[in-house]
Amino acid sequence: MAESWVGASAMEIARAVRRGDVSATQVVADHLDHIRGRNDRLHAFRIVRESEAPAEAEQVDQQDDLSGASLAGVPIAIKENTPVTGVHTWRGSEAARGPVAEADHEVVRRLRGAGAVVVGTSRMPELGIWGTTDEPGAVTRNPWNTDRTAGGSSGGASAAVGAGLVPIAHANDGFGSIRIPAACCGLVGLRPGHGAVPAPAGADSWLGMSEHGLLTTTVADAATGFAVLAGQRPARLTEPARLRVAVSLRSPVVGVRPDAANRAAVTSAGRLLAAAGHDTVRAEHPYPTWLGIRGLATWFGAAHLAAEEAGLDPAQLQRRTRGHLTAGRLAWQRGLVRDSDRQRWREQCVARFDSYDLLLTPVLAAAPPPAIEWSRRSWQANLVANARFAPYAPPWNLAGLPALVVPVGVRPDGLPVGVQLVGPPASERLLLAVAGQIEQAVPWQRHAPGWV
Contact 425, 401 (CB under 8 A): yes
**d(C-alpha 382, C-alpha 386), whole Å:** 6
DSSP letter at 444 equals P
Cis peptide before 154 (omega within 30 of 0): no
Q: Are strands 117-122 and 134-135 parallel, antiparallel or unpaired?
A: unpaired
Q: Mark whether 158 is an active-site residue.
A: no
- 228 — alpha (psi -120 to 50), left (phi > 0) or beta? alpha
**d(C-alpha 235, C-alpha 243), whole Å:** 21
**d(C-alpha 406, C-alpha 418), whole Å:** 5
Query: Which of these is catalytic: 9, 70, 93, 177?
Result: 177
Contact 296, 376 (CB under 8 A): no
- Other beta carbons less than 10 A from residue 425's beta carbon: 17
- Other beta carbons less than 10 A from residue 381's beta carbon: 14
- 400 — alpha (psi -120 to 50), left (phi > 0) or beta? left
Query: Which of these is catalytic: 153, 210, 375, 427?
Result: 153
Contact 371, 147 (CB under 8 A): yes
Q: Mark whether 79 is an active-site residue.
A: yes
Q: Mark whether 248 is an active-site residue.
A: no
Task: Identify which of 352, 331, 319 has the alpha carbon closest to the alpha carbon of residue 207.
Answer: 331
Contact 74, 116 (CB under 8 A): yes
User: Cβ contacts of residue 398 below 8 Å, gap of 6+?
Assistant: 209, 291, 294, 295, 298, 342, 345, 346
**d(C-alpha 9, C-alpha 12), whole Å:** 5
- Catalytic positions, please? 79, 153, 177
